[in-house]
A = this chain, B = another copy of it.
Amino acid sequence: MQITAEALCQLLNGTLEGDARAVVDSVAKIEEGHSHSLSFLANPKYEEFLYTTESGIVLVSKDFKPSKPVRTTLVRVDDPYVAFTAILSEYVAQINNKSGIEEPSFIGENSEVGEGIYLGAFAYIGKNCRIGKNVKIYPNCVIGDNVEIGDNTILYPNVTVYLHCKIGANCILHSGVVVGSDGFGFAPQTDGSYAKIPQTGNVVIEDEVEIGANTCLDRATMGSTIVRKGAKLDNLVQIAHNVEVGENTVIAGATAVAGSTKLGKNMVVGGQVGIAGHIQLADGTKIAAQSGILSTIKEPGKNMMGSPAFEFKQYFKSQAVFRNLPELDKRVHDLQQELDALKVAMNENK
């Protein structure tokens, strides 16, 4: 992507101060830019960098008043951060702007793909699938039979979607994601072995969901494992069978949710959290990294921490005493000695 300051001004409906012919071809933080970098200044904390930046063009607010001489070209816009993000989104869309069907690839009987599709080489689509418009299926993805994928969804390389699963529109699945592997269900037998409980359900991912690399979502035993609209899952997350992840809930990396648990809306779950099976967590619950949630939370918006977790502030107080436990232990020991001495003294006083 190459763009002049002048073209940027037009694109962003901005005003120019400096060299209209300045050209940028990449983006950078204001303190890390080079002569062909585009940067932005939104937070006044970073203002000092404006006067020393190497970046060729910097987006600033329309009402920003520099306190020192500026050498770089400025483009003034209403909201520099929003404008910068729009440019980034456009840049990302351009570099990922793939379309067409590369060969060899595989499309099974009765499967339909919408217009504008990108199907990478060595990608595989099973039978009876319905793939929407402008879907991107990168190389080496495997889509099982009877799968549905909504418009504009992107599957990066090496994603697997098992049969009968449904993925909404405008979703992003990163490499290595597995959707629809069997739930972990086994019935113990009298000889100590386990019989597999057939996992006949599927996974349903609603619209606007993003799922990070190597994250796994198991199919339901019966019915569906569900990820609601707008939820965002980071890398290496484990979602067990029959779990439901609520709308706009965010789950950080390496977290694991056990079977049949329902996460509410707008939750924020930290990394490496473990959540037990068959419980419900209320909307807006926040869980600190590495916590373990063992039971249902009914009250919305609670902050939880610890393993097993309890309320965040309480946990920090307990943790503070934990750090000083050897000292507490010694105080108790000393108290006992003082008390014993007192008893002796009292007896002598009698």
Q: Which residues of A contact B (CB under 8 A)?
A: 27-29, 32, 85, 88-89, 91-92, 95-96, 102, 104, 106, 120-122, 124, 138-140, 142, 144-145, 156-158, 160, 162-164, 172, 174-176, 178, 181-182, 184, 186-187, 192-200, 208, 210, 212-214, 216, 218, 222-223, 230, 232, 234-236, 238, 240, 247-248, 250, 252-254, 256, 258, 265-266, 271-272, 274, 276, 289-290, 292, 307-308, 310, 314, 317-326, 328-329, 331-332, 335-336, 338-339, 342-343, 345-346, 349-350
Contacts and interface: CB of A to CB of B under 8 A. Distances in A.
Contact of A124 (B157, B181, B235): B157
A223 B289 contact: no
21 contacts: A91-B200, A95-B163, A106-B121, A142-B158, A158-B158, A176-B178, A184-B232, A184-B234, A193-B208, A193-B230, A193-B248, A194-B230, A253-B258, A256-B272, A258-B271, A289-B292, A290-B307, A307-B307, A331-B332, A332-B335, A342-B346
Contact of A210 (B172, B175, B196): B196
Given A106-B121, A124-B140, A216-B235, 14 more contacts: A92-B198, A96-B163, A102-B106, A122-B140, A156-B162, A157-B160, A176-B176, A181-B212, A193-B248, A213-B216, A216-B253, A258-B289, A276-B289, A322-B322
A143 to B, nearest CB: 9
Closest 10 CB pairs of A and B: A142-B157, A88-B198, A321-B325, A160-B175, A178-B213, A181-B213, A174-B181, A124-B139, A213-B216, A216-B235
A199 B211 CA distance: 14
A250 B216 contact: no
A329 B329 CA distance: 10
A329 B336 contact: no
Contacts of A335: 332, 335-336, 339
A315 to B, nearest CB: 8
Contacts of A232: 184, 186, 194
A182 B211 CA distance: 10
Contact of A198 (B89, B122, B310): B89
Nearest to A256: B254
Contact of A265 (B27, B192, B210, B317): B192
